[in-house]
Amino acid sequence: VQLQASGGGLVQPGGSLRLSCAVSQSTPIDHYAVGWFRQAPGKEREAVAGIMVSDGRTYYVDSVKGRFTISRDRAKQTAYLQMINLSPEDTAVYYCATGFLGDWKTYTPKDNNLFYWGQGTLVTVSS
């Protein structure tokens, strides 16, 4: 499974960014979720948001609810993370992944082998 993430960058506090995660078309993922994790400097990786490709069910970590919105284009096997009202605490490397939605909810860093991972994309929120 190949995942291609894009959309990171530098943004000022209060600004917005949109991340994209495209999963290779050669691997059907209709029964899986796609989404993001992030790892800030000196901190453990955490699950941020995931979305079921088939029915659109979502997961969000509490700290991003109301600010981040995950969506997907089922035909393109691509997920999008729209991030608004960004704060310096959102600064991290964001990793695209695919796996079971339930594993987003219970994720700990010991569970990395439950997901397929794309490369990280750096999001920096700074003035």
The predicted structure's pLDDT at residue 101: 93
% of the chain beyond a pLDDT of 90? 90
Read off the pLDDT band of 27 (50, 70, 90).
confident
Q: Counting Cβ atoms within 10 Å, is residue 112 exposed (0-12), middle (13-18) or buried (19+)? A: middle
pLDDT digits (tens, 9 = 90+) for 50-98: 999 999 999 999 999 999 999 999 988 899 999 999 999 999 999 999 9
Q: Where are the alpha helices (DSSP H) in 13-95?
A: none
